[in-house]
Amino acid sequence: MRKLVLSVLGAMAITPAFAAETSGTIGFTNDYRYNGISQTAGDPAIQGSLDVAFDNGLYAGIWGSNVDFGDDANLEIDYYVGYGGELTDDLSYDVNYAWYTYPGYDAYDGDYGQLNLSLYYGNASITYGYANDYFNTGEAGQYIAVDYSHPLPNDISLDLHAGHSFGDYWGKADIDDFEDYSIGLSGSFAGLDLSAAYIITSIDSEDETDSGLFRNDNALVVSISRTF
């Protein structure tokens, strides 16, 4: 996947017909949650990204974060390429493929790819993700999410989210299919992007973990980032 991203960037760089815009982010969160489950054992994470977008709708990027799986995993780096466009004035779409990697993770080879499809209408969106080999287990994992952002005064948004994790992987994992929900606020101040969200999961009480590795209890997640 890394080679694919570099190939796309190289091909576009030598094509003068397409203008490119680059951007990056650096951020901090008190807990890196992925679909409601902590990837840092409930501890903070420093995260960053670098993206390039072309005026024809094509884009590519790289994103990274520290992780904690209780062994020698300490870093996640994701590569992605995608394409987005408008269907109408109010309706737009995005299609991307992401490759999730864990450099230096010798205890287990968890690298895998996922196809993501999104539709946006006004302030609402729906996203579907499909990985045929989730976390390199040989089992498929799927995710569908609905998000809505309602504008409030002073450039603050009320953010609502509902997601559903399902597929063969979750049926054979310790945790069955489950939902994750969140309600939060987000906005910008002094050039910083700020957000706070309270996350709730429907994971059965016997499978709930409220501390340590892969904690999946209800939690308040606060994030701060800067885009440059």
- Average pLDDT score over residue span 179-185: 98
- For residues 75 and 66, is the Cβ–Cβ distance under 8 A? yes
Long-range Cβ pairs for the range 26-30 (8 Å, 24+) = 26/225, 26/226, 26/228, 27/193, 27/223, 27/224, 27/225, 27/226, 28/223, 28/224, 28/225, 29/221, 29/222, 29/223, 29/224, 30/220, 30/221, 30/222, 30/223
Residue 221, pLDDT above cutoff 90:
yes
80-105 pLDDT tens trace: 999 999 999 999 999 999 999 999 99
* All domains in the chain, ordered by first residue: 2-227 (2.40.160.40)
Residue 65, pLDDT above cutoff 60:
yes
Residue 39, pLDDT above cutoff 60:
yes
**Structure pTM?**
0.90
The percent of residues in the chain predicted with pLDDT above 70, rounded, is: 92
Residue 14, pLDDT above cutoff 60:
no
138-155 pLDDT tens trace: 999 999 999 999 999 999
- Mean of all residue pLDDT scores within the chain: 93
The larger pLDDT score, comparing residue 88 to residue 174, is at 88
